[in-house]
């Protein structure tokens, strides 16, 4: 699940300057998260982030294109954790509906709650910047690739079909969790877990079986 990186690229520096660059980059990300959590994405400004970081606009723009870009970079920090979650489901010796339900309950839903600030910010950023939306779709595909052990039978002309099916499964879960756990649309947790477990278990079985012949 490789991040699609920001347009800002660190120029070649000696080791000390490179460390300074990385520390400044991280400071802006940490402060951006705090500002987005306090003010919300729409009300937050680059000036708010710069002030929180005790930095300058020139330094900000040396690292990020704009507010949407820093929101995207902030979300990219969650990608390793997201990848680990999807890999976990491939480690079941033999998937069952009960194991899938437990995975959803213990790992997936917790991820969305823990990273709600990052998720909220990047969803707003997608609406403001088409390039962030494009990056987001690549993140979805990257997550789907973690499920590759389930679609190894999809080869040749069917390989893209298998990946697309897995991507749609991830995208459906991502959209539901955003509206439910981040935006606060009410759902009965146990009922929703039952529905998601049915959908995921059925689709994982179909993916593993390979394309219909």
Q: Is 29 within 8 Å of 70 (Cβ atoms)?
A: yes
Segment 111-136 shows an average pLDDT of: 95
Token representation of residue 183: 């935006």
Is residue 117 located within the same domain as residue 151? yes
Question: Does 6 reside within a domain?
Answer: no
Q: What is the CATH number of the domain that holds 106?
A: 1.10.357
Q: What is the pLDDT of residue 159?
A: 94
pLDDT category at 15 given cuts 50, 70, 90 is confident
Exposure string for 48-63, b = 16+ CB within 10 A, e = fewer: bbbebbebeeebbebb
Residue 180: give the domain boundaries: 76-209
| Helices 116-128, 130-145: crossing angle, 10 deg rounding | 130
pLDDT tens, position by position, 172-206: 999 999 999 999 999 999 999 999 999 999 999 99
**7 lies in some domain:** no
- Residue linked to tokens 């689709």: 203
Both tokens assigned to 31:
């402060």
Contacts of 178 (CB under 8 A, 6+ apart): 112, 119, 123
Instruction: Tell me what pLDDT residue 10 has.
Output: 54
pLDDT tens, residue by residue, 144-176: 999 999 999 999 999 999 999 999 999 999 999
As for how many domains the chain has, the answer is 2
Domain boundary among 5, 29, 64: 64
- pLDDT band at 93; cut points 50, 70, 90: confident
Please indicate, yes or no, if residue 27 is contained in any of the structural domains. Answer: yes
Q: Are 120 and 182 in contact (CB under 8 A)?
A: yes
| pLDDT of 5 strictly over 60 | no
Q: Which residues contact 208 (CB under 8 A, 6 or more apart)?
A: 150, 151, 153
Domain termination residue (choose one: 64, 87, 122): 64
* Residue 194 confidence (pLDDT): 98
Whether 202 is in a domain gets the answer: yes
- What is the model's pLDDT at position 179? 96
Q: What is the CA radius of gyration of the chain?
A: 19
Residues 54, 91 within the same domain: no
């Amino acid at each position: 699940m490789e991040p699609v990186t920001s347009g800002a690229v660190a120029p070649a520096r000696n080791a000390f300057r490179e460390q300074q660059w990385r520390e400044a980059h991280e400071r802006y990300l940490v402060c951006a998260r705090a500002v987005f959590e306090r003010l919300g994405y729409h009300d937050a400004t680059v000036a708010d982030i710069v002030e929180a970081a005790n930095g300058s606009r020139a330094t900000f723009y040396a690292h990020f294109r704009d507010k949407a870009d820093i929101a995207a970079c902030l979300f990219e920090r969650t990608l390793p954790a997201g990848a680990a979650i999807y890999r976990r489901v491939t480690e079941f010796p033999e998937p069952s509906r009960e194991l899938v339900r437990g995975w959803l309950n213990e790992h997936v839903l917790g991820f969305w709650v823990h990273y709600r600030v990052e998720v909220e910010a990047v969803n707003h950023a997608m609406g403001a910047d088409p390039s962030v939306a494009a990056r987001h779709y690549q993140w979805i595909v990257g997550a789907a690739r973690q499920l590759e052990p389930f679609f190894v039978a999809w080869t040749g002309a069917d390989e893209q079909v298998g990946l697309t099916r897995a991507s749609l499964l991830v995208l459906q879960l991502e959209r539901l969790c955003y509206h439910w756990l981040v935006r606060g649309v009410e759902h009965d947790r146990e009922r929703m877990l039952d529905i998601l477990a049915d959908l995921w278990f059925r689709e994982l079985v179909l993916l593993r079986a390979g394309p219909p012949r």
